Amino acid sequence: MSEPLPIAVLVSGTGTNLQALLDTVHGREAKIVAVASSAAGVAALDRAAARDVPTRVFARGDFESRAARDETMAAWLEQRGARLVVLAGYMELLGDSFLERFPAGVINVHPSLLPAFPGLGAIEQALAYGVKVFGVTVHFVDGGVDTGPVILQRALELPDAREPTEVLAALRPLEHALLPQVVRLFADGALAPDPGNPRRMLIDPQAHVVGEG
């Protein structure tokens, strides 16, 4: 069995997606070597500490610029040996300088079926539009706002949904399933760009984690 993939997780809040990673791939296909937070005192940091995962806070206000924050954070993640960076409810934008330190190595989970409803407030956007099908996308991060290549998506019909909290609760299990699945695919080397469409990733049909997970 190959060595676990060293990954870093970026968080901003409760850390339920971090917990999903800790409960599934950590110590198996992957090893979470660092958790970086944009805010102090959040539950995600407690979740990491409970599993002896190193943590550090990179609050935007502690740096003279976003670029300085990104540079310091990227250096720490590299020092920890991270090869994949997972944005798990991370509520800050990352600049090109950070992404260049981890080329094709930053993924994000977003609560919509991209390209629909990118950016903040995706669920609120979807409700306002009146959609009846919601979903989750895991994608690579590029310099745009939720514009990177799509890796996996899953949809859910909620024809009577009215409140964002209701939709979020329904989508959480999808996030918790898809994000570890994508980490496994990355660790297996099962992802490749689609030569016919740069907005989409192809998945090796022999990958053992394709499907429900």
> Annotated catalytic residue: which of 110, 139, 176, 208?
110
d(CA 168, CA 111): 8
CA atoms within 13 A of residue 117's CA, in its CB half-sphere: 21
Active site residue 208: no
3-state SS, one letter per residue, for 134-148: EEEEEEECCCCCCCC
d(CA 172, CA 135): 10
d(CA 31, CA 82): 9
Catalytic residues: 110
